[in-house]
Amino acid sequence: MDIVMTIKIALYSLSRNKMRAFLTILGIVFGVGSVIAMINMGKGAQQSIQERIQSMGPNNLTIFAQSSSKGGVHQSGTMDSRMDYDDVEAIEKECPHVEYASPSMRTTVRTIYKNQNWSTALNGGNSQYQYIRGWKMEKGIFFSEEDVRSASKVCVLGSIVVDNLFINEDPLGKTIRINKIPFKVIGVLETKGGTGFGGNLDDCIMIPYTTMDQRITKSRRLRTIMATATSSEDCDRAEDEITDLLRQRHKLKSGDENDFEIRNQAEISASVGQTTQVFTIFLASIAGVALLVGGINIMNIMMVSVTERIREIGIRMAIGAKQRDILLQFLIESVVLCSMGGVIGIGLGVLASHLIAQWAKWPMVFSPEAVLLSFSFAFGVGVFFGFYPAYKASKLDPIQALRNE
C-alpha cells in the first residue's frame, strides 16, 4: 500500500466523525492560538514600552543621590543629598559630551481652577528640561531662563491636566492654584501617552525649579539631576565625565564610594527588554500547557478509535496490509488532527493579538517565529501522542481482530 492511499484512508476515517474530530482538535486550537497571542502580545507591549522610553529622551542620563560610605561612615543619599544646583551648572559647562543638564524635582500636588480640581505630578526643572525630556509644545511656550532666575509663578500643563481642569476652555493665560498658590498657565505640552509602567507622561505640570524650591517643597535638597548626551554614541563618555566631575566636586577619595548613581536610557531600555521577554516566555509557557492537554486528548480519542475499528484493522491485515501501513494510517490521522488544529489556532491567535493590541493601544507585532514554533509544536504533539495508539493498532493479531464484534 502506497503512502497516498494511506493518507486518503486516514482522511476518510476522520471525515466519518466530523464532530468528534472537531471537538478533539479544540485543545490544539486554543493552545496554538494562546501561544501566538501571548508572544505577539509580549512583543507588542515591549515595543510600546521601548517607544515610550525613547520618547522620554534616547540620550538621557539620570543622576540620583544615594547612600555612600566615606571613611567608614555610612551616609544617606536620600536624606542628606550632597548634590546641588552648582553641580548642574558644572555638568553642563565642564562635560564636553553633555548637551543639556537640569535639576529634576517631583512631588504630588492638588490643583484647582474654578470649581474643578485635580491631583497630579508637579515637576520642577530649568528651561532646558523641555529638550531633555523631548517635550514639544502643543500651544503656548515653555518657561524661560528669566522665569527660572526670578522664580516666576508660571506653569506648563500636560494634556490630562488640561482635560480635567478646563472644560471646553482655552487654558492659556488662565490662573490655576497649585497647593493654594496662584500660577499662570503659559503653555500646554503635546500629548505623549502612557509610560508603559502604569503612569502617564501627560498627567503632569512643569514649573521652574526655583519656584518649586521656594514655594512648594521649601527644601534645597537636590536628589535628581537629568542630563542629555550630545548623541547616543556619547552616552558612556558623558557618564564617565559626570562621574569624574561629581567625585571631584564632592571631594571623594579613591577608596570612597560614589554618593550618586547614574543611569542612562540605554540601560533602562535593555533592562525593560529583558523583563518583558522573560514575562512573554512565561506567558507562552503557560499557554503551551493547553497544547499538552490537547495532545493527551488526541491520544485518548485515538485509543477509542482503535478500539472501535479493531474489526476494520483485522480485515485490512487479512487482505494484505502490513503493520507499517496500519501504524502509518493512525499516525497520519493524529498528525492531521493536530495540523488542522494548528492552522485554525494560528488564525485565532493572530485575530486575538490584533484585538488585544487595539484594546491596549499598543503596536500589533506579528511574530513569524511564534507561528512556526506553535505549528511545529502542534505537529510534534500529533506525532508524539498519536504514536502509541497507532503502534497498538499495528500490533493487533489479525485473527483476533476479525473475531471482534
The pLDDT tens digits of the residues spanning 380-397 come to 777 777 777 777 777 766
For residue 77, name the pLDDT band (cuts at 50, 70, 90).
very low
Contact 223, 78 (CB under 8 A): yes
CA-closest candidate to residue 339, choices 293, 367, 288, 298: 298
Q: Is the pLDDT of residue 97 over 60?
A: yes
pLDDT at 314: 74
pLDDT at 365: 73
Radius of gyration over every alpha carbon of the chain, rounded to an integer in angstroms:
33
- Residue 54 or residue 100, greater confidence: 100
The per-residue pLDDT of the chain, averaged, comes to 80
State the distance between the two ends of the chain, measured CA to CA, in whole angstroms: 26
Q: Is the pLDDT of residue 306 over 80?
A: no
pLDDT at 220: 66
Question: What are the grid coordinates assigned to 68, written together?
Answer: 555612600
The Cα–Cα gap between 376 and 370 comes to 10
* pLDDT tens-digit series, residues 164-212: 999 889 999 999 999 889 999 999 999 876 554 445 778 999 999 999 9
pLDDT at 388: 73
CA-closest candidate to residue 44, choices 384, 352, 311, 405: 352
- Average the pLDDT over 10-30 and give the result: 77
Question: What are the grid coordinates assigned to 8, written together?
Answer: 486518503
